Amino acid sequence: MNRKIHVSVSILAEDFSILGENLKTIENAGGDSIHLDVIDGVFAPNITFGPVVIKGISKLCALPLHAHLMIKYPEKYLEDFIDAGCSQIYFHLESEGKPQNIINKIHGRKAKCGIVLNPDTSVDTVIPYLEKIDSILIMCVHPGFSGQEFIPEVLSKIEKIRENYPKLDIAVDGGINDETIDSVLNSGANVIIANSYVFSSKDRAKAVRRLKGLNE
């Protein structure tokens, strides 16, 4: 099947003193959305930014904003991220709270809802929710930092979901680059999240095209 590939660019490891420039870079390179990694230092070992900063980002950038909540209590804060301008909220199945309540709350605010699975979490845990969400995000590294190495064992999870859900958006996050992109696309992923590969490329537009599976 020929799927349209969506590229969402993360700014996690970039220089926030030139945030506006970096956001423009993503727009000019053909990125489809901005992936915002929100980490609370409890759910994952890093601390990043919250709704206040995202509200500022929404004024600097015309692309849709997607929040990836790596926080222990997503239900408590998710509306703040929607208020700040995020049109899609990803929460981890490993975080606290009842997944169905979180899904309802996100959809109740007319935002899209994605569930995230850590590399060690089995696909079976998410099956009861797959008909109820807009996308599933398969982590290809352990949450916390950009620039980690891709874990190839996650490919079978993508394949398993794609086999049964031909239309669901399947996102991948972590370690996606020139060498790993083909395997995730071939497994059935259609939303590609990347940080270091795009920003470390001299030609960022070319990097985004590569992530879309487009040849020169």
Interface residues with Zn ion (CB under 5 A) are: 37, 68, 173
Between 150 and 188, CB nearer to ligand DX5: 150
**Tokens representing residue 153 in the block:** 């064992």
Residues carrying an active site annotation: 37, 173
Between 70 and 161, CB nearer to Zn ion: 70
Between 35 and 162, CB nearer to ligand DX5: 35
Q: Least distance to ligand DX5 from the beta carbon of 33, Å?
A: 12
47 closest CA partner among 22, 25, 72, 23: 72
Residue 38's binding partner, choosing from ligand DX5, Zn ion, none, with beta-carbon cut-off 5 to 8 A by kind? none
Q: How far is residue 150 from each of residues 51, 60, 183, 187, 216, measured CA to CA in Å?
A: 29, 31, 11, 14, 25
Dihedral angle computed from the Cα positions of residues 7, 210, 162 and 170, in that order, rounded to the nearest 10 degrees? -20
The residue within the footprint of ligand DX5, chosen from 89, 170, 176, 184 (CB under 6 A), is: 176
Residue 188's binding partner, choosing from Zn ion, ligand DX5, none, with beta-carbon cut-off 5 to 8 A by kind? none
The residue within the footprint of ligand DX5, chosen from 67, 155, 193, 207 (CB under 6 A), is: 193
Q: Least distance to Zn ion from the beta carbon of 175, Å?
A: 11
Question: Coil, strand, or helix at residue 119?
Answer: coil
User: Beta-carbon neighbour count of residue 164 at 10 Å?
Assistant: 10
Give the CB-side neighbour count of residue 38, counting CA atoms within 13 A.
Answer: 25
Q: Phi/psi at 91 (nearest 5 deg)?
A: -120, 155
Number of residues that bind ligand DX5 (CB under 6 A): 21
Residues 110-129 binding ligand DX5 (CB under 6 A) are none
Between 111 and 137, CB nearer to ligand DX5: 137
Q: Least distance to ligand DX5 from the beta carbon of 95, Å?
A: 13
Are 136 and 115 within 8 A, CB to CB?
yes
Residues 7-46 binding ligand DX5 (CB under 6 A) are 10, 12, 35, 37
Q: Least distance to Zn ion from the beta carbon of 69, Å?
A: 10
**Tokens representing residue 185 in the block:** 């696309």
Distance (Å, whole) CA 166 – CA 200: 33
Distance (Å, whole) CA 212 – CA 46: 29
Sign of CA pseudo-dihedral 191, 94, 16, 200: negative
Binding site residues, ligand DX5, CB under 6 A: 10, 12, 35, 37, 68, 141, 143-148, 173-176, 193-197
